[in-house]
């Protein structure tokens, strides 16, 4: 580690006030303004800004790049840079999807098979096909909603990577749903499909019985 960087890092954390500010940012998850942080720790906003400058110089906090919807001068918000597992997970998924895409050999088919293998490793919930798919996708964070012969997915935890590499990520999700359906079996087989991004934040799992075709 560079000596100057190491010194600045430890010096920033040597202050109890700065440790409290970091703890608030890490606990809340959402970026906060200096005024909001001041209210949380009962300090004047000027004092908070002073400590935030030291934390920023040490690389422990960063200014949030999100846009402020209110009128007037944009508010500066801060977030901790020490731990962002969600961003790291999204980055990793994106990198892996890109690597698979660049292989260029039956990417969609391989991704579909990967989804089937994923389903085989999961404990299948009790109930019918719809219940199994809905329960599993709920557990994975997709916020599914049953609507007739469709299951609406409104909260894909891999949305950013899916938009860039649908032939990989969306096909894995389709394979997962199909694998769950196959595990359940049925006297009336169900064809499972996936319609990604029918709206900016909505994908649909479609369920069609063979006798409906």
Residues 34 and 72 reside in one and the same domain: yes
Q: Categorize the per-residue pLDDT at 6 as very low, low, confident or very high, splitting at 50, 70 and 90.
A: very low
Within 8 A by CB and 6+ apart from 156, the residues are: 142, 162, 173, 201, 203
What is the number of alpha carbons within 13 Å of residue 152 lying toward its C-beta? 10
Q: How far is the CA of 131 from the CAs of 44, 106, 127, 181, in angstroms?
A: 53, 31, 6, 10
Residues 117 and 207 reside in one and the same domain: yes
What value does the mean pLDDT take over residues 113-130? 84
Residues 102 and 199 reside in one and the same domain: yes
Which stretches of 104-165 are DSSP H helices? 107-121, 129-139, 159-164
Q: What are φ and ψ of residue 140, in 5° steps? A: -85, -5
Instruction: Give the pLDDT of residue 5.
Output: 38
Q: What are φ and ψ of residue 144, in 5° steps? A: -70, 150
Read off the pLDDT of residues 149-184 as tens digits, 9 standing for 90 and up: 899 998 888 888 888 888 888 999 999 999 999 887
In this predicted structure, the answer to whether residue 8 has a pLDDT above a threshold of 70 is no
Q: Categorize the per-residue pLDDT at 72 as very low, low, confident or very high, splitting at 50, 70 and 90.
A: low
Residues 70 and 122 reside in one and the same domain: no
What distance in Å separates the CA atoms of residue 61 and residue 78, rounded to the nearest whole number?
6
What distance in Å separates the CA atoms of residue 213 and residue 210, rounded to the nearest whole number?
5
Residues 67 and 91 reside in one and the same domain: no
Residues 25 and 76 reside in one and the same domain: yes
What distance in Å separates the CA atoms of residue 135 and residue 179, rounded to the nearest whole number?
14
132 or 86, greater pLDDT: 132
Residues 63 and 104 reside in one and the same domain: no
Q: Categorize the per-residue pLDDT at 4 as very low, low, confident or very high, splitting at 50, 70 and 90.
A: very low
What value does the mean pLDDT take over residues 184-212? 84
What distance in Å separates the CA atoms of residue 68 and residue 77, rounded to the nearest whole number?
10
Boundary of a domain, candidates 46, 62, 80? 80
Provide the residue count of the chain.
213
Q: How far is the CA of 141 from the CAs of 113, 157, 188, in angstroms?
A: 21, 6, 29
Q: Which CATH number characterizes residue 202's domain?
A: 3.30.1380.20
Q: Which CATH number characterizes residue 30's domain?
A: 1.10.10.10
What value does the mean pLDDT take over residues 101-125? 80
What value does the mean pLDDT take over residues 197-208? 93
Q: Which helix (H) or strand (E) holds 64?
A: none
Q: Domain total for the chain?
A: 2
Boundary of a domain, candidates 23, 50, 80? 80
Residues 41 and 73 reside in one and the same domain: yes
Domain enclosing residue 30, as ranges: 3-80
What mean pLDDT is reported for the chain? 80
- Which of 44-48, 65-69, 89-93, 147-151: highest mean pLDDT? 44-48
Q: Categorize the per-residue pLDDT at 114 as very low, low, confident or very high, splitting at 50, 70 and 90.
A: confident
Q: Which of 88-97, 182-191, 203-212 is least confident?
A: 88-97
Boundary of a domain, candidates 80, 107, 124? 80
């Amino acid at each position: 580690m560079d000596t100057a960087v190491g010194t600045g890092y430890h010096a920033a954390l040597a202050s109890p006030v700065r440790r409290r500010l970091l703890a608030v940012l890490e606990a809340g998850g959402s970026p906060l303004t200096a005024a909001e942080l001041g209210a949380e720790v009962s300090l004047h906003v000027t004092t908070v800004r002073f400590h935030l400058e030291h934390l920023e110089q040490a690389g422990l906090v960063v200014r949030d790049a999100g846009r402020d919807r209110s009128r007037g001068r944009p508010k500066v918000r801060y977030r901790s840079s020490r731990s962002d597992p969600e961003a790291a997970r999204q980055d990793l998924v994106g990198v892996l999807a890109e690597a698979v895409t660049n292989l260029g050999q039956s990417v969609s088919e391989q991704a579909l098979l990967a989804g089937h293998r994923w389903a085989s490793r999961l404990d299948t919930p009790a109930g019918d096909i719809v219940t199994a798919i809905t329960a599993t996708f709920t557990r994975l964070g997709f916020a599914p909603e049953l609507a007739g012969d469709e299951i609406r997915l409104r909260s894909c935890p891999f949305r950013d990577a899916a938009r860039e590499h649908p032939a990989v990520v969306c096909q894995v999700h389709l394979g997962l749903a199909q694998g769950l359906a196959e595990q359940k079996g049925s006297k009336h087989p169900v064809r499972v499909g996936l319609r990604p991004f029918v709206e900016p934040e909505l994908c649909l799992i479609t369920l069609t019985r063979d006798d409906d075709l």
